[in-house]
Chains A and B, each alone.
Chain A
Amino acid sequence: MNIPKKLLLVLAVIALTLGWLWYAHRPVVPQEATMADVRAEAARGGYRLISTGELAKLYRQPPANLLLVDTRQDWEYRSGHIQGAVNFPMEPTWWFRWRAQGRLAALLGPDKDRLAVFY
């Protein structure tokens, strides 16, 4: 490779890196997930959604196999949670999911038809 070509390559690489840096540093407004996002995510994950009202109705006459799972961090759980819920802190990464599979299965128990509500 001759020198001008090399320089061109270097410039291209610098431009790419700068572009990426700009992208990484651009100001981002943290967005609240819309209801549509939540629905799409539920469809992808294969679970159903439940509203606070429905859950409250369910909660008043709880079926024997209802399990409420609080997926927030333990300090959030400690500062207040739905009465009767158990804490199972989750992180939204595949690595965490893969690692925590066994623990979650143990928490939910062997009954595959069990009613589990996550929040």
Chain B
Amino acid sequence: MAVKLGYKNVYRDPLGYPEWQKAGLPVATEPMGLCEPAAAAKPPGPLSGWAMAWTLLGIFAGGMALNLTPCVYPLLPITVSYFGGKSGQGRVRLWAHGLFYLAGLALTNSTLGVAAALTGGLMGSLLQNPLVLVAVAAILVFFATSLFGFWELRLPGGLTQAASKSYAGYFGSLFMGLTLGLVAAPCIGPFVLGLLTWVASLGSAWLGFLVFFTLSLGLGLPLFILAMFSGSLEKLPRSGEWMLWVRKLMGWVLVGMAAYFIKPLLPESVSVLLLAAVALAAAVHLWLLDRTPAAFRGFPGAKTAVALAGVILATFLVGDWAWRGPGVTWQPYSEQLLAQAKEARKPVLIDFYATWCSPCRELDEITFHHPEVVRLAEKDFVMVKVDLTRKGNPLHERLLLQYGVKGVPTVVFLDKQGQECQDLRLVDYLPPEQLLPRLSALSKQ
């Protein structure tokens, strides 16, 4: 890397520090050793870093896909011709109109998102309640049946009419964007409502805003691009029956979300099989049973691709679950256990988790099932798990205070003297390759 930056005298000592130390050459340690408390702990968030980036990317793609549903798709030509009428005013003003349009769209959706997130503080704690989880899953499935075409979600006629009127000027563009959400509601409504419930479960206004802002960007971008290049309109496939197929696809996405929601309530084997069954059912419904005529050239290919993706997902879920070796054996927390560990001079790992938290599950399913991690843990460590799924256990409340745990997941590392190593503490998912050096540093120390 230094070479790429143009430095010429670059060397590497492949044996590095261990050899240097063995040779008795001058070394230094920071006043803060391995296990001193760190200055500031990173605040845990429900979504951060890569998970955040991928989630937003997925939502963006979802927003773009919503353009293909039968309520939005017919709007494309209208919108494009609206912008086409403005094209006499020159490029720059056209861009400005386009941006106002996007802003309007984003405004409606983001308001919804923030509202959901703010009321979500209440919902966040509700979501730990099994009854609520079942209800949310039921709502998702209910909306999915609408997308499958069993019933129709309609807005009052007056509202739809007012919304489809066009207004002049920049305000007009803004207003068209604002109302696109309303006009399109019958189709995108179920998806948006599903997303709203999810945002509410995150309970952060900023995230709520971000999620819905991204969704509107995805929803608006194709329109925006088409409007900028009005000439390309002829190349779009005609609207037709194939859009009903896209609706069904969105319906299956909602059913999948429902299955995911009730995952914490079921034993792991059942929830894995359930998710796999949903993926397979989607593949069968959208591919083998589907009789939608091929409306354009790429359509049969797209159908096959979606179905195969479903099959792959199902195989992957079941296969990955079946293939996994034994995990780390955990013990419940007790003072006695910690005292024993101190006596035996064994480092301790305390995992604070809850079944409804997805990074916790990831930590458990991937990192604490990694064969090397399991081997080290069995050999040198005392592994303790504290289940925070249900609130109100006095012992747990005390531990939360004692270790300053602000959220789940939190993994606390105690060294051989029973002292906490704060700078090793985990508050998010960590892949096994990165956990291993921490473990070996602790056991060697």
Bound together, the chains give a CA A37 to CA B69 distance in angstroms of 54
Among A1, A22, A27, A116, contact of B371 (Cβ-Cβ < 8 Å)? A27
Contacts A21-B316, A82-B20, A117-B11 known; list 12 others, CB within 8 Å: A3-B288, A13-B308, A46-B3, A59-B26, A75-B441, A80-B27, A81-B27, A82-B26, A82-B28, A104-B1, A108-B7, A114-B7
Q: From known contacts A14-B315, A79-B441, infer whether A105 and B5 are also in contact, taking CB-CB under 8 Å.
A: yes
Task: Find the B residue at minimum CB distance from A102.
Answer: B5
Contacting pair B1 A76 (CB below 8 A): no
Contacting pair B33 A78 (CB below 8 A): yes
**B21 interface residue per 8 A CB criterion:** yes
Contacting pair B12 A76 (CB below 8 A): no
Chain A interfacial residues counted at CB < 8 A: 59
Contacting pair A116 B315 (CB below 8 A): no
Bound together, the chains give a CA A56 to CA B15 distance in angstroms of 12
Collect the chain A residues with CB atoms within 8 Å of residue B424's CB.
75
Bound together, the chains give a CA A48 to CA B14 distance in angstroms of 10
**B166 interface residue per 8 A CB criterion:** no
Contacting pair B12 A50 (CB below 8 A): yes
Collect the chain B residues with CB atoms within 8 Å of residue A33's CB.
14
Collect the chain B residues with CB atoms within 8 Å of residue A55's CB.
11, 13, 20
Task: Find the A residue at minimum CB distance from B16.
Answer: A119
Task: Find the B residue at minimum CB distance from A10.
Answer: B311
Bound together, the chains give a CA A107 to CA B19 distance in angstroms of 25
Contacting pair A21 B323 (CB below 8 A): yes
Task: Find the B residue at minimum CB distance from A91.
Answer: B434
Q: Scan A11-42; emit 1 where CB is below 8 A from any B CB, else 0.
A: 00110011001100101001001010010001
Bound together, the chains give a CA A47 to CA B281 distance in angstroms of 55
The tally of CB-CB contacts under 8 A between chains A and B is 163
Q: Which residues of chain B in 197-222 are interfacial with respect to chain A, using CB atoms and an 8 Å cutoff? A: none
Cβ distance B186 to chain A, nearest Cβ, rounded Å = 33
Contacting pair A119 B17 (CB below 8 A): yes
Bound together, the chains give a CA A100 to CA B372 distance in angstroms of 30
Q: From known contacts A75-B424, A77-B30, infer whether A52 and B9 are also in contact, taking CB-CB under 8 Å.
A: no
Bound together, the chains give a CA A66 to CA B170 distance in angstroms of 61
Bound together, the chains give a CA A116 to CA B5 distance in angstroms of 12
Contacting pair B11 A48 (CB below 8 A): yes
Collect the chain B residues with CB atoms within 8 Å of residue A50's CB.
11-13
Bound together, the chains give a CA A18 to CA B28 distance in angstroms of 50
Among A80, A84, A104, A113, contact of B17 (Cβ-Cβ < 8 Å)? A80
Q: Which residues of chain A in 42-94 are interfacial with respect to chain B, using CB atoms and an 8 Å cutoff? A: 42, 45-53, 55-56, 59, 70, 72-84, 90
Q: From known contacts A6-B288, A13-B312, infer whether A116 and B2 are also in contact, taking CB-CB under 8 Å.
A: yes
Bound together, the chains give a CA A17 to CA B276 distance in angstroms of 14
Bound together, the chains give a CA A117 to CA B383 distance in angstroms of 39
Closest 9 CB pairs of A and B: A119-B16, A83-B26, A119-B13, A78-B30, A47-B10, A46-B3, A17-B315, A83-B28, A79-B34
Contacting pair A18 B12 (CB below 8 A): no
Can you identify 28 A-B contacts, CB atoms within 8 angstroms?
Answer: A1-B304, A3-B288, A14-B312, A17-B315, A25-B323, A30-B372, A35-B14, A42-B12, A46-B4, A47-B2, A47-B10, A48-B10, A49-B13, A51-B15, A52-B23, A55-B13, A55-B20, A75-B423, A76-B441, A81-B28, A84-B28, A101-B4, A112-B7, A113-B7, A116-B10, A116-B11, A119-B12, A119-B15
Contacting pair A47 B3 (CB below 8 A): yes
Task: Find the B residue at minimum CB distance from A46.
Answer: B3
Cβ distance B382 to chain A, nearest Cβ, rounded Å = 21
Bound together, the chains give a CA A55 to CA B30 distance in angstroms of 22
Among B1, B17, B323, B372, contact of A97 (Cβ-Cβ < 8 Å)? B1
Among B29, B311, B372, contact of A13 (Cβ-Cβ < 8 Å)? B311
